[in-house]
Amino acid sequence: MMQLEGRDAVLTRLSSYRRRAATAACLVALTGPSGSGRTAVLDAVTRTADGVVLRGRAARWERSRAGGVVAQLLGTSEPDGTAFEWAERLAGRIGDASGLVVVDDAHESDPLSLQALSTLVAHHPRTTVLVVLALDPARADIGHHEILAHVEGSVRLDPLDVRSVGAIAAARGRPLTPLAAERLRRHTRGNPRHVTALIDEVDPDEWVDPFLRLPPPAAVSVAVRAALDLLDGDARTLVEAVCVLGERVELHEAARLARLDDVLGPLGEASAARLVTRGGGQLGPTVGPPDPMVRAAVLDHLGPARAAELRRLAAALVEQPERRLRYLAAATTGRDPGLAERLDELSGEAAADGRWSTVAGLLLDASRLTDERALRESRLTRAVDAMIGAGEGLDAQALVPVVESLRETPLRNAVLGYLAIIEGKAGEAGARLGRAWELADGDAHPRTAALVAQRHVLHALGRCRGRDIVDWTDRVARHAEPGSPEAVEAAAIRGLGLAAAGDPTGAAEAYRLAADQVRHGAQHQRVTMGRGWLAVVTDDVDQARQELQSATPTTQLGGSSRISLWAWGWLARARFLGGDWDGALAAVDGGRALGERTGIALTMPLVEWTAAQVHALRGESDAADRAARRSESWGTAYEIMRVPAVLARAHIAESAADYERVVRVLAPLDRPGAGGCLEEPGWWPWTDVYANALVMTGRLDEADRFLRPHESRAAERGHRSTAARLGYARGRWHGARGDADAATASFEAALRTLDGMALRYDRARIHFAYGQTLRRAGRRRDADTVLLVARELFDSLGATTYVARCDREVRAGGISAGRDDRAAVDLTPQETAVTELVTRGMANREVAAELHVSPKTVQYHLTRIYAKFGVRTRAELIARHDPG
């Protein structure tokens, strides 16, 4: 049962195929490597299956026995017949009942059995059977792949995520820290079998060690030893060289370390034994171990002395200084101050390029090799700072007790404050960074002062305070050397500060200068992400998508996972605004996965906000609520976390036409002197949602007072989308006051403002409100025209919630709806709409908000509806309308 953790989506997909098979035979492949949980999934599927269940398992030693698997399925010991004849027998066995046929390890099946199962589905389509072939595609031969070409669908067992790993450990009574769960996931590549094995095999007390070297599972160790023993000497030497060198190296390096003139023969043998994998690179062929477990097993069999010897030889062979020193460090068991100094110097070069993960590794090695205590502590603290810069939050968190035990310095407090920022702990971050600035001596130690100031920049960004961002970037510039990491990172954020402080023109210029200064490398990722974020704020959706898409990867240039998370969150937003909602959810998935792996809380509410809105608009209320809960679970101490979490709830409430709740959720954002991003157009789309809800709940004076300063600021900044959104709310306001002409002018102006902009959802919202207002003003034919445009736009986006609302509005108007659409009881269009909503369980207030009428009007219609149906209560109406 443990291997079912993280398999909900797989079981859901198989259930959908099971339902599909109720009307037509269906063949599906369940794919995943050995240990991925194929058997556990099949167990779960067969346990809940109705009808005839036939189950078998193929075996390698029976592959030559033609018809062996289908004979096993039918319980006969005489496998004799053609594929067509076996298919006939299977169809007869299932008969008129629903059938489920599953074959485990189908990659070992005899070809005739697979042909029979394919024939069963192809020639007996009316047989209500689902055939599931569970297999490892990497071990399937050509004949198997020919059959797989005919499957209706393929369900893949992906590696477990960190939460599923943690859940498995907890269920086995051995709970893990988030870092331990993530390290176990990386080491095992999320394979359930290996995850459970190591949870059981590693001493529970060892998991808390942040420097724990994870061993291979015992079964992997035995298998690797057996495979090594079967290799000839050259192939074994090549495997050892590959595992010493690392995860992915150039083939010629491995050949030189193994001292092989002819490497192709040994490479083929080692590859066939699955002890190395081959790949291609820009500079030529590459090789590496299949996974970290195989590498660990090879190094264990090699022994520490021989491994150290090979690492020293590798250091003399490789060209890159970083790798050379890391190999020497790995081969050194004691202190080596000279080597430590060289590692430290090299870390400075990597820092200048923004390759913080490399910096962290170099400084950790340097700290371990350092004699002097104060210097050792400083290097360790800087290593943790680099981990945070790289987005390796879980690794950094594991070292907090070590850093906290060190003597107080500005650097120590700045690092702890930096970690508090990415954990979303605004209060702790402010206190730590405030103390760091008090202790910093800008004259004596300008580099440290610049670093502390840069951490204040990030804190101000989290607080959404544009002026503070600009002030702290100025302090960084006063203390930092031009081109230093602190100066570059401050420049990458300064533009956002200017925009949040009301200077979008200055922001664009700041990014032009930053892009000119940093044209490539990992630091360029920061500039690209900031420029993409600014493009979202300033309505340039196309540029935003392009910039943010290029800022999401971290592997190629050694960029930061922290920056990638921002890019994923704003990319989801840009795609949503551009109408690519599936792409938006794909970006959410990318951000979620990265957030779970890194433990960076600060960005996650932003990621979940878009998911909540898309699911709410699509009528997927459970998924929307889960996204909103996840958004809140990461914390809301920083404004940049709190605002998207609040917006997620507000969008869910708005989609449900619960405008009272929208007001309650958003009211805390409307506070005097809020300043910063909350008041600047383009940052957070909350003002129109709040103003609209105020109008819909009858708070017209309050709505007017709220709208005026925001309308003025949007006009002053020339921010088109904000002006259009506020114009939509103003149109609502005019309509509620009975001024149809002014309402029409506001809506038409809002639509003109959006001309040429890829904001289909905003255009649909304006048309919907426009149509409702026209209907309320009695202009039903005009309302129909506008509402049908809204419906078409919503339908093209997949916003089923609003498609249904448009349909109700049109029916309520009574122009497009004919008498054939009425219920058996002769209801007016408005009464039909009220009846539909009431029987869905909505209160009068909610019905009134949905239909844009007063609660008294709803009650009036209900009185007439009760009389027409011959009922006296709401409960009787619901029972009368829907007896089922």
Q: Which residues pair with 131 in a beta bridge?
A: 27, 101
CATH class label, 218-330: mainly alpha
Residues 6+ apart with CB under 8 A from 164: 5, 6, 190
**Could you tell me where the DSSP H helices lie in 668-778?**
687-696, 700-717, 720-736, 740-753, 760-776
The overall longest dimension of the chain from CA atoms, in Å, is 96
- Residue 156 DSSP symbol: E
Angle between helices 659-666 and 639-655 (to 10 degrees): 170
Sheet of strand 52-57, all strands in order from the earlier edge strand to the far edge: 52-57, 99-104, 129-135, 26-31, 153-156
Q: What is the tally of helices (H) and strands (E) in the chain?
A: 46, 8
Tell me which residue has tokens 């930092």. 480
On the question of a common fold for 218-330 and 819-881, the answer reads yes
**Which pLDDT score is estimated for 586?**
95
**Which pLDDT score is estimated for 63?**
85
**Which pLDDT score is estimated for 854?**
76
Report pLDDT digits (tens) over 290-316. 999 999 999 999 999 999 999 999 999
Sequence letter at residue 870: G
Distance CA 491, CA 480 (A): 11
SS3 content of the chain, % helix, strand, coil (to 5): 70, 5, 25
Query: Of 725, 760, 787, 803, nearest to 581 (Cα)?
Result: 760
Residues 6+ apart with CB under 8 A from 459: 417, 421, 426, 429, 430, 433
Tell me which residue has tokens 């810069």. 389
Helical (H) or strand (E) element with 27: strand 26-31
CA 375, 379, 384, 386 torsion-angle sign: positive
Distance CA 603, CA 595 (A): 8
Q: Which residues pair with 286 in a beta bridge?
A: 250, 279
CATH class label, 350-593: mainly alpha
819-881 maps to CATH 1.10.3470.10: no
**Which pLDDT score is estimated for 706?**
96
The pTM of the full predicted model, rounded to 2 decimals, is: 0.79
Distance CA 636, CA 17 (A): 40
Q: Calculate Rg over the CA atoms of the chain.
A: 32
Tell me which residue has tokens 């909103």. 628
Report pLDDT digits (tens) over 480-528. 998 888 888 898 899 999 999 999 999 999 999 888 877 666 678 888 9
> Hey, what CATH topology would domain 2-156 get?
Rossmann fold (3.40.50)
SS3 assignment, position 742: helix
Angle among Cα 237, 239, 241 to the nearest 5 degrees reads 70
- The residues spanned by each domain of the chain are 2-156, 162-208, 218-330, 350-593, 608-806, 819-881
Low-confidence ranges of the chain (pLDDT < 70): 1-3, 143, 281-283, 519-522, 554-559, 673-675, 814-825, 879, 881-884
Q: Which residues pair with 27 in a beta bridge?
A: 131
608-806 maps to CATH 1.25.40.10: yes
**Which pLDDT score is estimated for 816?**
54
